[in-house]
Amino acid sequence: MQMSFRWYGPQNDSIPLKYIRQIPGVTNIVGAIYHIPVGETWPLADILALKSEIETAGLTLKTVESVNVHEDIKLGLPTRDRYIANYCATLKNLAQAGIEVVCYNFMPVFDWLRTDLAKPLPDGSTALYYDEEIIAGLKPEILVAQMEKGANGFELPGWEKKRLGEIKKLLALYKNLDEEQLFANLGYFLAGIIPTAEECGIKMAIHPDDPPWPVFGLPRIVVSRANLERIVRLVDSPFNGLALCSGALGADPRNDIPAMIRHFGAMGRLHFGHVRNIIVARPGLFYETAHKDDSGSISMYDVMKAYHDIGYTGPIRPDHGRMIWGEEGMPGYGLYDRALGAVYLHGLWDAIKKQSEGEKQ
């Protein structure tokens, strides 16, 4: 297991790499190139510059999150072939820079969604919060404006202002697209990129939809064990795998996260682990909590035990943290609570590992 930490680059992250380097056990940065528009090829020189900056700080870059998928691919438009060719070119450049895992998602229009980016919790911290009842009464453009306002001046991951400025136009394009068509378009995309991923040794890891159900009438398919099973078989290759996000999938209590880790891990399709805890207060209402085992609805011990038991050697990162100790930063991506999360998860891992070694003797 490689304990990792997401970093948004020198322009859009308030946390210096030298601080991340000081979190015990964190060795690997999960990074990306942000100045290239979605759909265009990431230049090798830019990837190498990012890698070099990270290595100079004493950390490694082996996991990229995310290489975003152009809407035309999700919509299945004729222009998709050009964007798929660009995606393959990006994968080749990433491989040349030593990248091993690429995370991506396949959510139409919106990336992750929340109704409040700074919901006060009883302990005085703030957290990301989602309430389906609030969403139901909101126009999509109002939610976009709310998310942008709550972002503290940061560009939220997956929330490119230019693209979402055309939200009504985007939603209209998806009007007649159902789940089956979205599956077909994902299959087409995977058939186009997995041969390149295989050739250059990059493990593709699809991130679950967050939240894992349809929003604003848009289909969402990366939502359940059955659908993940279908996705990994769309192109039956070990390079067609998963980024299992405990918080995203866990918002639907029917998803048994440790069981999914064991299942897809045994299949060799688990390439990236996002580990975070949430409280599901009622169906459709959840908010994010500290990583500690008893802080939320998902047992972090059971999650880490499952990763340990499948012999997982890939990247794991703490996911969205609360804002604590007065920190100001990108909602969900402050330093303090994610650092606590990384160390807590590593503590669980060390204990599980030592106990299992003791049992073997």
Q: Spot the catalytic one: 320, 337, 344, 346.
A: 320
Q: What are phi and psi of 253, to 5 degrees?
A: -60, -10
Q: Measured from the CB atom, is 88 or 335 closer to Mn ion?
A: 335
Nearer Cβ to Mn ion, position 71 or 319?
319
Helix (H, G, I), strand (E, B) or coil at 51: helix
Q: Which two tokens stand for residue 247?
A: 């918080």
In the structure encoding, which two tokens stand for residue 314, read together?
A: 């890939």
Smallest distance, Mn ion to C-beta of residue 206, A: 11
- Which listed residue (70, 103, 131, 274) is catalytic? 274
In the complex with Mn ion, the residue whose CB is nearer, 90 or 105, is 105
Let me know if 174 is a catalytic residue.
no
Smaller CB distance to Mn ion: residue 140 or 318?
318
Side chain identity at 254, as an amino acid letter? R
- Site residues for Mn ion per CB under 5 A: 245, 274, 319
Q: Is 271 a catalytic residue?
A: no
Q: Which is nearer to Mn ion, 75 or 205 (CB)?
A: 205
Active site annotation includes 245: yes
Check 72, 116, 131, 319 and give the catalytic one. Answer: 319
Distance CA 230, CA 206 (A): 12
Q: Is 274 a catalytic residue?
A: yes
Q: What's the closest the beta carbon of residue 141 comes to Mn ion, in angstroms?
A: 25
Q: Closest distance between Mn ion and the C-beta of residue 256, in Å?
A: 17
Smaller CB separation from Mn ion, 105 or 196 = 105
**Phi-psi region at 98: left, alpha or beta (left = phi > 0; alpha = psi -120 to 50):** left
- CB-closest chain residue to Mn ion: 245
Minimum distance from residue 112 beta carbon to Mn ion (Å): 8
Which is nearest to 30 in space by CA: 1, 14, 51, 56?
51
Q: Which residues pair with 63 in a beta bridge?
A: 30, 101
- Which strand (E) or helix (H) includes residue 127? strand 126-131
Catalytic residue among 13, 333, 337, 344: 333
Among left, alpha and beta (phi > 0; psi -120 to 50; other), residue 91 is: alpha
Minimum distance from CB of 361 to Mn ion (Å)?
Answer: 37
- Least distance (Å) from Mn ion to the CB of residue 6? 9
On whether the CB atoms of residues 72 and 79 are closer than 8 A, the answer is yes
- Which of 70, 111, 245, 312 is flagged as catalytic? 245
Q: What is the DSSP string of 79-125?
A: THHHHHHHHHHHHHHHHHTT--EEEE---SS--S--SEEEEEPTTS-
Q: In the structure encoding, which two tokens stand for residue 337, read together?
A: 């609570």
- Catalytic amino acids? 207, 245, 274, 319-320, 333
